[in-house]
Structure formats: C-alpha cells, structure tokens
Structure 1
Amino acid sequence: MHIDSLKTLVVDALEELKAQDITLLDVSNLTSVTDLMLVASGTSNRHVAALANNVVEKAKAAGLQPLGTEGRAGDDWVLVDLGDLVVHVMLPETRRLYDLERLWADLPSDADEGRHGGLA
C-alpha cells in the first residue's frame, strides 16, 4: 500500500472514533525503522484501545497485516506498527510525559549525523 493511502486510512480510522490531537511526524531522515509516526490521543484507556483496534481492523480490511501491536486494553499507550507508518495512541497525560513530538524533532537528521560523527 502506498504511504499516502496508508496515512489516509489510519487518519480516517482514528477520526471515525473521535481521536484527539492527531499529529503526523515525518521521521524518514531520522531513522530507518519507519518513515512516518502518527501520534493521537484518546480520552480514556478504553478509548485508546478502541482507537488502536480500529486502526488494526481497517488495515486488515485493506489487506495490510500489521507487523505488531504493543500495549493492550487498559494501557495508557498502544503502538500499532504498520511498517512505513507507526501509530502511537496515548492518553493525554502519557503523551505529555513522553512528548514524542519534541523527542523526534530534537534528534539530528542523517545529514547532521555525518557531520557530528554519529549518534552516541
């Protein structure tokens, strides 16, 4: 599945169940693990689980088998690995604590890595 189609599928799945503060991070120049990370918030542990489950169900319906899911019902953070796109669904307080948006924005790009001798 093309990355733009995957991104649309995931955002639609999250919006369908009223995810909050959906943010897309392009990390393609920062890591070889994935190209995009999508971070969204749910209003409760149950909502977080429902959002992640909806992403998994919509991906499977489109013929895409998720590579993995971390977290389970009742957790405050669930990760869905779709290969080129990794989805993080969290409670707002967990999202503030880990602040993935700032974490990934503060990392040097691959170009910076070459100038500074690599990451420690």
Structure 2
Amino acid sequence: MEVVIASLDDSKAEEVVDINLQGRSALADHMVIASGRSHRHVSAVADHLLRDLKEAGHGNAKVEGLQNGDWVLIDTGDIIIHIFRPEVRTFYNIEKMWSVSDAKETTVH
C-alpha cells in the first residue's frame, strides 16, 4: 500500500482516496482512487505506478485503459487503483458507491 501512495504522490496525482475494503468485498483489501489533470497526466501517473509496483515485486498487475487516458484501472490483487481525469471521476463517482464515510482520504500535493 505504501508503494502505491508514494508513487501517486511522486507523480502529483490529485485527490487521492484510500478505501479500506477488508471484510466488505472479496475483490481486494484496498481501493485507491486518484485524479490526473489531463489524458497525458493520467497515463503518466499510471505508467509511473506500474514501474514502481514492478520494482516492489508486484509486476503481475492487470491494467485497463492505459492508452485512452480517461480512466486507468490497475489491479494488483490486493489493491485496485483507479486513476481518472476529473470529469470522468465525477461522472462515475466510485467513492459514493463504496461509501466514502469509511474511506481514509490521503491528500497529495
């Protein structure tokens, strides 16, 4: 989990939210949601995160949406990471679906 948050911070991802799914879903233990400022920024944040995950021994992560840059999904098995453009994040509003009241928001500058 620390690798994910540190990588997102290094890449200047915005509005990073960590939702604890333990005991709530068999999908993963954590879901991390973050925003990038543009298509290019979303793709760059995701690419940087994938490199950091590989270096940390999580090289088998599944990735969807990297070429488009609107919404990139990275699934490590234990952690699901969503990286959105702000408009796409607002449209899907995943935080609400997973009830953000249980989420721990991590502010990234």
TM-score bracket, shorter-length normalisation:
0.7 to 0.9
Question: Please, which of 83, 89, 92 is the counterpart of residue 98 of structure 1?
Answer: 92
- How many residue pairs end up in the alignment? 100
Structure 1, unpaired ranges of 5+: 1-6, 107-120
Question: For the residues of structure 2 that align with 1:47 and 1:84, how far apart are their CA atoms?
Answer: 25
Is the Cα contact below 8 Å between 1:76 and 1:94 reproduced in 2? yes
Q: Which has the higher contact order (CA 8 A, sep 6+)?
A: 2
Mark the structure with the bigger radius of gyration: 1
Q: Which residue of structure 2 lines up, in the alignment, with residue 57 of structure 1?
A: 51
The alpha-carbon deviation at position 75 of structure 1 amounts to: 2.6
Is the Cα contact below 8 Å between 1:81 and 1:87 reproduced in 2? yes
Structure 2, unpaired ranges of 5+: 101-109
Give yes or no for the alignment of 1:85 onto 2:54: no
Higher strand proportion (structure 1 or 2): 2
Other structure's SS at 1:80 match = strand
Q: Which residue of structure 2 lines up, in the alignment, with residue 9 of structure 1?
A: 3
Is the Cα contact below 8 Å between 1:46 and 1:73 reproduced in 2? no
Give yes or no for the alignment of 1:36 onto 2:36: no
